[in-house]
């Protein structure tokens, strides 16, 4: 029995009950909300993923209420009054920055919820701001620049190859092999396309050639970090990184697999970055490791994809390497959310358990 099992098996005996009813709020997705098919693809199965989590909750004998994140949400929540809510919303009407309104509604209705609050979600949808915060607090990141137009003067200290990323959109949208620029002509063309298509700024940063590690932090009594290296199987590519096609279009054909990764230094960086980015409950970071052994934080995800391995969720794949399955994490998240809402301390854990969460 691993640490989390040791905790949860005694919850009922100690009077720490699971909630009787749980709402799941997911993105209300319509094709017309998104400027491109690529962005739509990243959210089109939001309801499917919510229903999958609902099945796990039902096995815990919990009443499940499903809500699309739209204008009807406040009325439905006031009527149903769930004990708590799992917030899975990534965007409203296609805009990721509007997802921060969901915790706002829940705060007004005084309904406990999983994940971060308004501030954390607002920060998450501005990669430039998060990078600045990390940089100012000693977290290593690649050199970068924010472009508001394709003709902005370029920082002469930037060194090729460079990778271009949409400032307000996650999910790997437009992260393709064509994201890498080896000269200014290609970079300017890429910027022109991204800015005119998505009507937002673009972060350009130095591409770090090397290995890649994904880190998941889960909050319990302690902040526990779980790390795994992405081992790429298609090594004939010039630049090895997970593209949009790898993530969303591979149809089960994996271009990499995860293996455990351990380093106390990186673990401490992740803990600090979690707090700096104002994350709560769980968060995800992607980190590159260059040939000199230096770490560079390249992506930060508040409220990252949450679900079992069947939903192709990085969180569950990585936790599985540590012998922790999705039902155990789900149960722990529910109990701590309810207890926090009541102003109580988090569940006490044994020494064995503290090593697992």
Q: Taking Cα atoms as reference points, which of 96, 46, 93 lies closest to residue 70? A: 93
Taken in order 148, 150, 154, 160, the sign of the CA dihedral is positive
- CATH superfamily entry for domain 211-354: ATP-grasp fold, B domain (3.30.470.20)
Check: CB of residue 295 under 8 Å from CB of residue 287. yes
Q: Where are the domains of the chain?
A: 3-116, 143-206, 211-354
Cα–Cα distance, 119 to 104 (Å, whole number): 10
pLDDT mean by block of 10 residues, the chain; 357 residues: 34 62 97 96 96 96 97 97 97 95 96 96 96 98 98 97 97 95 98 98 97 93 91 88 88 82 97 97 97 97 94 93 93 85 51 38
Choose the CATH number for 143-206 among 3.30.1490.20, 3.10.580.10, 3.40.50.150, 3.20.20.70.
Answer: 3.30.1490.20
Tokens of 215: 């880190």
CA 253 to chain centroid, in Å, comes to 22
Burial class of residue 247, CB neighbours in 10 A (0-12, 13-18, 19+): middle
Cα–Cα distance, 324 to 4 (Å, whole number): 7
Cα–Cα distance, 65 to 76 (Å, whole number): 10
Q: Taking Cα atoms as reference points, which of 125, 46, 25, 15 lies closest to residue 313? A: 46
Cα–Cα distance, 157 to 240 (Å, whole number): 24
> What DSSP state is assigned to residue 121?
H
φ, ψ dihedrals at 48, nearest 5°: -65, -45
Cα–Cα distance, 40 to 37 (Å, whole number): 5
Check: CB of residue 315 under 8 Å from CB of residue 216. yes
Q: Is the pTM of this model over 0.95?
A: no
Cα–Cα distance, 344 to 212 (Å, whole number): 38
| pLDDT value, residue 251 | 59
Determine the CATH number of domain 3-116.
3.40.50.20
| pLDDT value, residue 84 | 97
| pLDDT value, residue 12 | 46
Tokens of 71: 């204008």
> What DSSP state is assigned to residue 130?
H
| pLDDT value, residue 253 | 65
């Amino acid at each position: 029995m691993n640490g989390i099992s040791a905790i949860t098996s005694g919850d009922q005996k100690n009077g720490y009950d699971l909630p009787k009813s749980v709402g799941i709020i997911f993105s209300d997705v319509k094709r017309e909300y998104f400027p491109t098919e690529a962005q739509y693809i990243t959210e089109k199965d939001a309801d499917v993923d919510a229903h999958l989590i609902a099945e796990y909750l039902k096995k815990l004998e919990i009443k499940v209420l499903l809500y699309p994140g739209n204008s009807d949400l406040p009325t439905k929540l006031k009527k149903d009054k769930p004990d708590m809510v799992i917030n899975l919303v990534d965007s409203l009407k296609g805009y990721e920055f509007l997802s921060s309104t969901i915790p706002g509604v829940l705060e007004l209705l005084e309904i406990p919820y999983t994940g971060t609050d308004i501030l954390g979600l607002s920060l998450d949808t501005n990669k430039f701001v998060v990078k600045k915060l990390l940089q100012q607090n000693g977290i290593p990141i690649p050199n970068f620049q924010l472009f508001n137009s394709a003709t902005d003067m370029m920082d002469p200290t930037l060194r090729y190859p460079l990778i271009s990323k949409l400032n307000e959109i996650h999910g790997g949208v437009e992260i393709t092999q064509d994201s890498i620029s080896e000269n200014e002509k290609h970079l300017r063309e890429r910027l022109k396309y991204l800015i005119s298509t998505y009507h937002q700024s673009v972060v350009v940063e130095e591409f770090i050639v090397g290995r890649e590690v994904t880190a998941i932090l889960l909050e319990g009594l302690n902040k526990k970090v779980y790390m795994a290296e992405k081992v790429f199987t298609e090594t004939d590519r010039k630049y090895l990184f997970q593209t949009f096609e790898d993530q969303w279009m591979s149809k089960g054909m994996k271009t990499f697999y995860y293996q455990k990764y351990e380093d106390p230094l990186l673990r401490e960086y992740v803990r600090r970055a979690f707090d700096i980015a104002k994350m709560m409950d769980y968060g995800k970071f992607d980190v590159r490791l260059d040939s000199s052994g230096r770490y560079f934080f390249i992506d930060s995800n508040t409220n990252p994809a949450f679900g079992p391995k069947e939903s192709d969720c990085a969180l569950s794949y990585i936790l599985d390497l540590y012998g922790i399955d999705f039902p155990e994490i789900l149960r722990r998240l529910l109990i701590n959310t309810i207890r926090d809402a009541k102003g109580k301390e988090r569940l006490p854990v044994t020494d064995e358990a503290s090593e697992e969460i």
